Amino acid sequence: MKIYLIIIYLFVCNFNIAHLFLSAVYSSPTAIKIGSKKFTESVILGEIVTQLIKSTGELPVHQRELGGTRVLWNALIKGEIDIYPEYTGTISEEILAGEGAHSDEEIRLALSNHGIKMTKPLGFNNTYAIGMKEEVAEKLKIKKISDLRHHPDLKFGFGNEFMDRGDGWPILRKHYNLPQKNVRGLDHDLAYRGLEKGTIQVIDIYSTDAKINYYDLRLLEDDQTHFPAYNAVILYRSDLEKRAPHVITVLKKLESKITESEMIKMNSRAHLGMIPESQIASDFLSASFSLETEPYEESAIYRLLRHTGEHLFLVVISLSAAILIAIPLGILSVKLPGLGQIILGIVGIIQTIPSLALLVFMIPLLGIGGPPAIAALFLYSLLPIVRNTYTGLHDIRPQLRESAEALGLPPGARLRLVELPMVSRSILAGIKTSAVINVGTATLGALIGAGGYGQLILTGIRLDNLSLILQGAVPAAVLALIAQGCFEALEKFFVPKGLRL
Amino acid sequence: MITIEGVSKTYGKTTALHSIDLTIPTGQTTVFIGQSGCGKSTILRLIIGLIQAECGSVFFEGTRVTPETAISLRRKMGYVIQEGGLFPHLTAYGNVALMARYLGWSEERIKERLNVLTELTHFPSEGLKRFPVQLSGGQQQRVSLMRALMLDPDVLLLDEPLGALDPMIRADLQVDLKAIFQTLGKTVVLVTHDIAEAGFFGDVITLLRDGRVLQKGTLEELVQSPADPFVTRFINAQRSPLDSMKKDLG
């Protein structure tokens, strides 16, 4: 009985803590929510839009670095966010792929079918380009993309998004008839490092990328005009016209206001000058609109606390739910062996789904932010607990099982008074494993807007800022150790003394 | 009274019992003896309802033992197995009191009962605080016996209760057990493979072979008028060391 009370007590405590964070982390539903993708330019644009809207008296929320196009688009459709910056090329080639929308008018029409509207271009074209180190390109005399045909041994490293988008690598290869076989998909921000180290020679790049000068890159001429224009625009939900017409008015102020060179400069300030995006946005608004806004940057300590809160929220809720569900599932698997094989099979299969894929699967069901991340973490936490409960109960010596039966205890009492206490150590070991996996996997929650330490890691990778990566990675590791330590301490309460001698 | 009527039991392809008919008289000690796999433990497990017969019935005090009736019938039986079957997470006290606590006995009543039982089984009461791993094999069997006797059952079922013990401890416990049986006057069903132990305890000895009753009677009857040559072979196989000494001395 004691064990149940403790489990319930822990759950209730967790829930209270979680509720506390919930209110702190996730904002009110009526606030205007701006999203941005996980690259610097998008974050800066998101910040500009946010500060501009703030100047109208609204209290907008900027959900930074939510992920890639799919995540942002789905969030916009579902109303998880109201506004985000996008590029016309991405809209026609990826979001509306196959709908044959190419001109701005066609795009507008197709978007309106989804309940989405688009501003006029903001003024700059951030197209995809193919880049190489200047010295390597010079040595090999490569100036145009078509020159790559004569160098089949070059190694290509493309951002994962570029690997399979409508105008990405497969089509580029066909268009230019490129022979290279050694092509890998990797995180876009990591591609620069590969280029520096020489493990790859050719990467995809954005034409307003701050790193073009920093890494001394040559952009290859698109001599057979493969890449469409990527004019920056702002997408917003049509319902905003009724909900907050003044917001649309200020959004339109940004039309034709940002030139290519201005955007490159802003990107450089963020990447090379390590200036916060909010400051860059504020400076832009001040210069272009004479609008004085207050850039909001939280202190490092507050930021760490906030991410700790978000991370704990994800872990505590998902793990508590997993404990409450997985132990009964483990018991059921032993008592009904036929069903048990199915249960163990399913939780096993869940474990093999790549975490990023599982997170993205959750978005259509649960939107972005905490809930889908918690659902995914919950699913990942099941296997170790179910399996350890199952194995523990399954391996109880038959003599002991029969002794309990021979005493005249009914099945429920046997489970409660004899079997579960005897396997408590095994169950707790499963919970410990789940907790450590959970803390680690929760860092991926940042990819879909759930925050946590992963946010610092993502931003660190994006800005090539090792200190920021460590600010996320070290607390995550420490939290994993603390979680393990806590459960080890709990052994004294959960595991009967007779089993610890 | 326990009656077994036309009971057969198979485990996969092996037949453990071939249509057995038996009556176990009340207030006596009945011993089942035979080689490993002769079906003697199966009889105990059928009586307490841990397994069910394919055909035939087992009756306990007139009630047929079925999965439904077993849970309440078991509370009128005490069951002791070879290595105690004590639950490692509970102290000796916790093991003995488990069922009484489940039935809602007061701690006071439990303590009173334990005083009686520790005295009866010669178990030192300070040992009640210990966990099974902290007890010797002989002490574990005494705890197991106390657990079986806790609810003051009508019948004691003992499956090789002394089989895993050193000879000296085993001899001590044999004497104590017999005294307990005599004091309590309960129906006792004991399974052993040791003919000397069977003779020591048993009012009636039932010798089983391959799932069939070969002979039923006192030790003298088994020795003096064996129903089958196997009976003599079985008895002679377990000779005492004194026999060989006598032979050597000529």
pLDDT in tens, A5-47: 444 444 444 444 444 444 444 445 578 999 999 888 999 999 9
In chain A, whose CA is at the least distance from the CA of B92? A498
Asked if A402 lies within 8 A of B99 by C-beta distance, the reply is: no
Chain B residues with CB-CB distance to A417 below 8 A = 98, 102
Mean pLDDT of A169-176: 89
Using one digit for the tens of pLDDT, what is the confidence trace for A398-442? 889 999 999 989 999 999 999 999 999 999 999 999 999 999 989
Kindly indicate the confidence band of residue A482, based on its pLDDT and cuts at 50, 70 and 90. very high
Whether the CB-CB separation of A230 and A94 falls below 8 Å is answered with no
The whole-number pLDDT of residue A122 equals: 93
Q: What is the mean pLDDT of chain B?
A: 87
Chain B residues with CB-CB distance to A402 below 8 A = 50, 81, 85
Q: Which of B87, B93, B140 to mutate to test the interface with A (most CBs of A within 10 A)?
A: B87
Q: Which strands, in side-by-side order, build the sheet including B63-64?
A: B14-24, B2-11, B55-60, B63-64
Q: How far does B14 lie from chain A, in Å, by closest CA?
A: 20
Q: How far does B177 lie from chain A, in Å, by closest CA?
A: 20
Beta strands in chain B (DSSP E): 2-11, 14-24, 29-33, 55-60, 63-64, 77-80, 155-159, 187-192, 204-209, 212-217
Chain B residues with CB-CB distance to A421 below 8 A = 89
Mean pLDDT of A223-250: 90
The whole-number pLDDT of residue A114 equals: 92
Q: Three-class SS of residue B31?
A: strand
Cβ-Cβ pairs closer than 8 A, A with B, add up to 67
Chain B residues with CB-CB distance to A424 below 8 A = 89
The whole-number pLDDT of residue A9 equals: 46
Residue A412 sits at the chain B interface (C-beta within 8 Å)? no
Q: How far does B243 lie from chain A, in Å, by closest CA?
A: 37
Asked if A499 lies within 8 A of B90 by C-beta distance, the reply is: no
List A residues 416-475 in contact with B (Cβ-Cβ < 8 A): 417-418, 421-422, 424
Asked if B147 lies within 8 A of A406 by C-beta distance, the reply is: no
Q: Three-class SS of residue B242?
A: helix
Residue bearing the bigger pLDDT, A19 or B154: B154
The whole-number pLDDT of residue A284 equals: 93
Domains of chain A: 2-21+300-499 (1.10.3720.10), 31-125+230-289 (3.40.190.10), 128-220 (3.40.190.120)
Q: Which of A400, A407, A423, A500 to mutate to test the interface with B (most CBs of B within 10 A)?
A: A407
pLDDT above 50: residue B103: yes
The whole-number pLDDT of residue A233 equals: 95
Closest CA to A203 of A183, A222, A221, A223: A183
In chain A, whose CA is at the least distance from the CA of B68? A410
Closest CA to B136 of B92, B192, B171: B92
% of chain A surpassing 90 pLDDT: 40
Residue bearing the bigger pLDDT, A352 or A29: A352
Kindly indicate the confidence band of residue A365, based on its pLDDT and cuts at 50, 70 and 90. confident
CA distance A91 to A65: 18
CA B218 to chain centre: 18
Q: Three-class SS of residue A253?
A: coil
**What's the N-to-C CA distance of chain A in angstroms?**
22
The whole-number pLDDT of residue A12 equals: 44
Residue A415 sits at the chain B interface (C-beta within 8 Å)? no
Least confident of A4-13, A344-353, A451-460, B82-91: A4-13
pLDDT above 90: residue B129: yes
Fold classification of B2-239 (topology level): Rossmann fold (3.40.50)
% of chain A surpassing 70 pLDDT: 94
Residue A498 sits at the chain B interface (C-beta within 8 Å)? yes
The whole-number pLDDT of residue A318 equals: 93
Residue pointed to by tokens 């002991």? A400
Asked if B88 lies within 8 A of A407 by C-beta distance, the reply is: no
The ranges assigned to domains in chain B are 2-239
Kindly indicate the confidence band of residue B114, based on its pLDDT and cuts at 50, 70 and 90. very high
Who among B74, B102, B134 is closest to A406 (CB)?
B74
CA distance A389 to A38: 40
Asked if A422 lies within 8 A of B98 by C-beta distance, the reply is: no
The whole-number pLDDT of residue A104 equals: 87
Who among A406, A410, A422 is closest to B87 (CB)?
A422
Which of A158-162, A168-172, B94-98 is most confident? B94-98
pLDDT above 80: residue B249: no
Kindly indicate the confidence band of residue A385, based on its pLDDT and cuts at 50, 70 and 90. very high
The whole-number pLDDT of residue A165 equals: 74
Mean pLDDT of A330-350: 92
Q: Which of B86, B89, B95 to mutate to test the interface with A (most CBs of A within 10 A)?
A: B89
DSSP, res A120? P
Residue pointed to by tokens 């998101």? A46
pLDDT above 80: residue A367: no
Asked if B71 lies within 8 A of A408 by C-beta distance, the reply is: yes
CA distance A375 to A381: 10
ipTM of predicted assembly, 2 dp: 0.88
Whether the CB-CB separation of A491 and A475 falls below 8 Å is answered with no
